[in-house]
Every structure is written in structure tokens, then in C-alpha cells.
Amino acid sequence: MKTLPLIQLIVALLFVSLIGACSDDARVTLHEPHVYKGNVDAHQYNLLSQEKRLQQRTLLAFTDR
């Protein structure tokens, strides 16, 4: 007689976990054609400050001969 509530509890837990497994995960990334959804490259935000440095570097590195 005492085992019956335990079985009921296990069944209830299983039911709740099964229902929970059907829920949406917020981390899922839905694919859209030709849309990049990966990590954002911080490099892109420093471009203006780098542009002059890279141009000077190009002239320095390749114009000596």
C-alpha cells in the first residue's frame, strides 16, 4: 500500500519531464537562407581605427624595392 504513492510520484515526474522535453529551447537558431547567424566578429567595429595603420603598414612593407 505504501509503494503506490511512490509509483504515482515517479509516473508524475516522468510525465512532467516528458512534457518539458517538448518545450522550445531559447538557444535554437533557426536557419534563414543567406543570413549569417554565427558569433559577431568584434573586429568589424575597429575597422576605422585600423584602416590608417594598415595603409601605413602596406606602404612600409612593400615599397622599399
For binding to other proteins (CB under 8 A), which residues are involved? Answer: 31-44, 46-48, 50-51, 53-55, 57-59, 61-65
Closer residue to other proteins, CB minimum distance, 8 or 50: 50
Closer residue to other proteins, CB minimum distance, 18 or 26: 26
CB of 30 to other proteins, least distance (A): 12
Closer residue to other proteins, CB minimum distance, 2 or 34: 34
Listed in sequence order, the residues at least 6 apart from 29 whose beta carbon sits closer than 8 Å to its beta carbon are 37
List the Cα angle 6/20/23 in 5-degree steps: 170
Task: Please give the grid coordinates belonging to residue 28.
Answer: 535554437
